[in-house]
Amino acid sequence: MTTDTKLVTVTDENFATEIGAHEGLAIIDFWAAWCGPCRMVAPIVEELAEEHEGTVKVGKLDVDENQKTAMQFAVRSIPSILFFKDGRHVDTVVGAVPKAVLERKIQQHA
């Protein structure tokens, strides 16, 4: 996992405080270390965290270590990037997608 401090590590334990209580837009990358497409999308997620610092909370959740939250949002394929607005799940993008797709979703929900 990256050492970039702009990314929030989201877990089963801190999901409610990091995302559920967050006002505004948050996006969470549901991923796993063994997942090739997850490694492809990881740099894009890091770029989004950097570029939208202060306006969009960007985090990563390891589905192997945090199965409760993954099951809560019916994450069956990874990478899955879930969008939350004021703590509510509003959108999902599944698979390794180009950065422009995620940028459009951020604009749509901002």
The structural domains of the chain, ordered by start, are 7-109 (3.40.30.10)
Phi, psi dihedrals of residue 7, rounded to the nearest 5°: -85, 135
Catalytic position from the list 8, 25, 38, 42: 38
For 15-39, letters b (16+ CB in 10 Å) and e give beebbeebeebbbbbbbeeebeebe
Catalytic position from the list 7, 8, 19, 35: 35
pLDDT in tens, the chain (110 residues): 444 468 999 999 999 999 999 999 999 999 999 999 999 999 999 999 999 999 999 999 999 999 999 999 999 999 999 999 999 999 999 999 999 999 999 999 98
Active site residue 2: no
Where do the H-state alpha helices sit in the chain?
15, 36-51, 67-72, 99-109
Total-model pTM: 0.93
pLDDT attached to residue 27? 97
Active site residue 105: no
